[in-house]
Structure 1
Amino acid sequence: MQSAQSAQPASGDDRVPGKLIGAIVAVGSLAFIGILTETVMTVLFPQLMGEFHVDTATVQWITTIYLLAVAATMPVSSFLKRRFRLKPLFAAAVILAIIGSFIMIVATAFPMLIVARIIQGIGSGIATPLMVNIILEQSPRSKIGRLMGVGSLVITVAPAIGPTVGGAVTSVLPWRAIFIAAIPITIVAAVIGMACIEQKTPTEDAYLDPIQLTTIVFALVGMILALNQGGVAVSALVSGRPFAVSAVTAVVSLMVGLGSLVAFCLVSRRSFSPLLRLGILRDPVVLLYWIEYLLLPIVGIGFGYVITNVAQLALGTDAFLAGALVLPGALIGAVCAPVGGWLYDRFGAARPILSALAIATIGPVLLCAFALHLTPGLLAGFYFIFGFFYALGNPNVMTSALAEIPREFTPDGNAMFNTALQFGGAAGTALFSTILSMAQAGAVAGGFGEGTAEFAHATAVGGMWTFGVMVAICATGWACLVVAFRIRSARAARADRAARATHVR
């Protein structure tokens, strides 16, 4: 299979054009705002529950519906890239972001918030793949790793600082101030983007099959909803609360999701113009990369939830300090993500990725070992190890995977990997919240509620279980990459022998 990189013509001028930098900054800022508001909302739950008179099960739909909208939009990004020019796509994402923020500012009823989050999710689902497509399509070959690192910085920093930003802003200002501030930032990004985004490839007369669109949307929405409601059901069951509605919702959603996924695969195989060209996953290297990129975000994104809850419920910190504990590791890791891209450009894929992710796994190993004796400093320090090396290695996984895909299929690969990222993040929050709830159930059943020593110990035990699961996930993802790189090496060796044999003849 011809790689995307090899398909790209060599150029003697490897300078990064100023307009490309501007385009990445503009689209990246839009993606940043979308992802930031996703994680900010979790800190706002208590205020929203009081203002709109809703319970915990209802208010969590603020983030769930956003994830569903993003997940439903991501697979369409390949079609949008082929069918429409870049500037109209960017303009659409900007308009959706502004409309969503405006509704959040003026909302007087909870359903208005849900509508706003759907609109914002669609905008973010357009912006994030658009940024990656611009980098892959327009970057000089020797700078792709570094520029992808810059792109991953956007995706990594936003969820990392979200809880801290939310806690800091809402401690002095109303929660709507976050969305008031988002509008001028979005407008500035729009001005830069419209001036800098350039069209380098022609559009195609692509066709959007409504059956494919419906089945993939139902597949992703069904599976994410099943994860979410499954976690709610298990948490309610172990806590002795009613769980039947959530359990039935989870089972039905799973059946709909899996059935729709099978239907999408069958329809796509027979389609002349598939929405996503799934054939790229027949390559075992790309498939193994994709599995890793689905697994590792479960840990990377789920860490924010676990640390803030363990810090508050087991160590007794306040909400602001709990959010701040995530900040050092997440920020330094995100800022150094371009360094990981430079290592990729300089040394290739295998050594920088495998070494960084192996060291990153030490973080959850230490957290698991010290789970019952953690302090806020140890919690932040061990997460720092994970956050730094995860950011050095994991963004390069998608870069390396897309290099194995023919260039005309790159938008499809981009859509698949970004969808895996979103799905993994949703799965991580559902999985880890369920594990913590199961651990806390014994204390709750014994009459020991939040704030008691028994409840704190139960949370610490739940943290130990969670960190153990994280270690297993990291090890599985790392093993997938080892196998993938071995297959690549064997292919390269066979190609080299064939080339030498041809030369001798």
Structure 2
Amino acid sequence: MKRQYNTRAIMASLLICGFVGMFSETALNIAMTNIMEVFQISAATAQWLTTGFLLTLGIIMPISGLLLQMFTTRQLFTGSLISLITGTLIAALAFNFEMLMFARVLQATGMALLLPLMFNTILVIYPPEKRGAAMGFVGLVIMFAPATGPTVGGLLIEFLSWHYIFWFSLPLLVIGLLIGLKYLENVTDVTKPRIDLLSVFLSTVGFGGVVFGFSKAGEGAEGWTSMGVITPIVVGLVALVLFILRQNFMNDPMMNMSVFKYPMYVVGLLLVLSCMLIIMSSMIILPMFLQTGARLSVFTAGLMLLPGSALNGILSPRMGSLFDKYGPKWLVIPGLVIVSAMLWFFTSLSPASSVAFIVALHIGLMVGVGMIWMPAQTNALNQLPPELYPHGTAVMNTLQQVIGAIGTAVAISILTSGMERYLHGSSSPTKQTEIANAMTAGSQNVFLFSMIIALIGLVMAFFIRRVVVNGETRKSIH
């Protein structure tokens, strides 16, 4: 007899907390210029508020599979919320950069624990035939919260100050914590696995080094040739190879690599990572193009991106229900066709492009991504047996952070080289119109890169098939 959970209350608690965590991440990005002026810091120093956040996620998420087995659901939830609430309060009160930086690390620690916990809890409390709809609501949080961040953040900065981004978040986190303490149950068994310190060290150096290296390259100031970029990436990759080798020879690995024996998990993971690469590369470039290429204000740019991201979030639960009914193929393949088509249109973007045209393309892109992400992710995790849920979610969440850092760095790199190439051939490279044209040329190259990734994803999508969740299927896979 399967235990009955108050799924609505549990989901409400996890979704409120997840939403606020994701919201404050992007809301702060739009406040960077403001923070640089207030604290008298350079762009490279301010960038650490984002790099430090990503780095903390990259270090903690790989050990989340281990933590999910070491602590009860309630213990992990409470720990993640205490970290999030403390970090948010310190950020709201921050009077110097160091204080804000410390707050960001605490917030990232909370999110690194909360996201894997959210996925794992859904896999346990919902039967396979209802997971698509539940994961759809997670999609609403993951896509809609970062989308509202720049718009709401822009409004708060315009009329109040950047501190209110965190004052706005604080009561919502407290409400989420109280609902969770009342209704969230311990849904997993605590197995107390042995902690292998060498695995933890290799994971920290490996994932941390790769994320840090790519994040530094993405800053655009030093570029790929800097030793500050090359060294951490090389050291990180070596550590990752050693980490993977060690996991394969351990009886009780920290991150169980046997998840890669499940073909639909691998296909789903690759499609999710393709989406992440497309989103990160497109979404960092589009606001830059709108502000520098099309010469629109920050607030206008934020408003233009809101309809597409909001629609993606709103449709996410619907996509999940369609997945439960029809399976992944009839959503993922059309989704990738739409994404590829939108990115092809984006490659012809220019300062003369109308606002309506850009908004329509962005809506199409985000709807397409919504058709791919959650169905691919849910189908992937459905193929795993329950004992591999913590490891499956840990691998997926960790690699998304790594790909996020890589996508950002590659996009900035393609944009910069495209701009430099254009300005090199220009007779008046300092002229405002020429800089706008250079931004357009660089942006078009990034959208072409994203389109190639989407087309590769489309080829992979033809291999996806619905996972039938029963004991017999799992026996046949081993």
Do the two structures share a fold, i.e. TM-score over 0.5? Answer: yes
Whether 2:136 is the aligned partner of 1:149: answer yes
Residues 199-208 or 305-314, more deviating: 199-208
Q: Give the 3 Å change call, closer, same or farther, for CA 321–451 of structure 1 in structure 2.
A: farther
Counterparts of 1:72 and 1:483, CA distance in 2: 32
Whether 2:403 is the aligned partner of 1:424: answer yes
Report the alpha carbon displacement of residue 41 of structure 1 after superposing the two structures with TM.
1.7
Contact 2:294 2:352 in 1 (8 A): no
With structure 1 as the length reference, what TM-score do the two structures score? 0.88
Counterparts of 1:484 and 1:223, CA distance in 2: 29
> Could you report, residue by residue, the CA deviation over 1:428-480 in whole angstroms, capped at 9, with x for unpaired residues?
22222222222222566669678711011111111111111110111112222
Counterparts of 1:413 and 1:104, CA distance in 2: 33
Corresponding residue SS for 2:347: helix
* Pick aligned residue for 2:47 from 54, 57, 60: 60
Corresponding residue SS for 1:483: coil
Task: Identify the residue that residue 282 of structure 1 maps to in structure 2.
Answer: 261
Report the alpha carbon displacement of residue 420 of structure 1 after superposing the two structures with TM.
2.2
| One-letter identity of the residue aligned with 2:279 | G
Contact 1:28 1:128 in 2 (8 A): no
| One-letter identity of the residue aligned with 1:199 | N
Gaps of 5+ in 2: none
Counterparts of 2:427 and 2:69, CA distance in 1: 59
Contact 2:281 2:446 in 1 (8 A): no
Q: Give the 3 Å change call, closer, same or farther, for CA 395–449 of structure 1 in structure 2.
A: farther
Contact 1:229 1:246 in 2 (8 A): no
Whether 2:450 is the aligned partner of 1:470: answer yes
Task: Identify the residue that residue 435 of structure 1 maps to in structure 2.
Answer: 414
> Could you report, residue by residue, the CA deviation over 1:10-30 in whole angstroms, capped at 9, with x for unpaired residues?
x7x9xx95x211111212221
Report the alpha carbon displacement of residue 118 of structure 1 after superposing the two structures with TM.
0.9
Q: Give the 3 Å change call, closer, same or farther, for CA 481–244 of structure 1 in structure 2.
A: closer
Residues 81-90 or 417-426, more deviating: 417-426
Task: Identify the residue that residue 434 of structure 2 maps to in structure 1.
Answer: 454
Counterparts of 2:363 and 2:249, CA distance in 1: 48
Report the alpha carbon displacement of residue 137 of structure 1 after superposing the two structures with TM.
0.5
Task: Identify the residue that residue 18 of structure 2 maps to in structure 1.
Answer: 31
Whether 2:354 is the aligned partner of 1:375: answer yes
Contact 2:308 2:363 in 1 (8 A): yes
Q: Give the 3 Å change call, closer, same or farther, for CA 332–227 of structure 1 in structure 2.
A: same
| One-letter identity of the residue aligned with 1:279 | S
* Pick aligned residue for 1:214 from 181, 201, 214: 201
Gaps of 5+ in 1: 1-8, 237-242, 499-505
Counterparts of 2:351 and 2:157, CA distance in 1: 32
Counterparts of 1:244 and 1:391, CA distance in 2: 33
Task: Identify the residue that residue 231 of structure 1 maps to in structure 2.
Answer: 218
* Pick aligned residue for 1:158 from 145, 151, 172: 145
Report the alpha carbon displacement of residue 320 of structure 1 after superposing the two structures with TM.
0.4
Residues 183-192 or 193-202, more deviating: 193-202
Counterparts of 1:331 and 1:142, CA distance in 2: 26
Counterparts of 1:51 and 1:324, CA distance in 2: 25
Q: Give the 3 Å change call, closer, same or farther, for CA 46–76 of structure 1 in structure 2.
A: same
* Pick aligned residue for 1:350 from 329, 339, 347: 329
Counterparts of 1:341 and 1:213, CA distance in 2: 35
Q: Give the 3 Å change call, closer, same or farther, for CA 22–390 of structure 1 in structure 2.
A: same
With structure 2 as the length reference, what TM-score do the two structures score? 0.93
> Could you report, residue by residue, the CA deviation over 1:111-146 in whole angstroms, capped at 9, with x for unpaired residues?
222211111101001111111111110013321110
Task: Identify the residue that residue 240 of structure 1 maps to in structure 2.
Answer: none
Contact 2:336 2:457 in 1 (8 A): no
Q: Give the 3 Å change call, closer, same or farther, for CA 225–231 of structure 1 in structure 2.
A: same
Residues 400-409 or 415-424, more deviating: 415-424
Residues 329-338 or 371-380, more deviating: 371-380
Corresponding residue SS for 1:108: coil
Task: Identify the residue that residue 95 of structure 1 maps to in structure 2.
Answer: 82
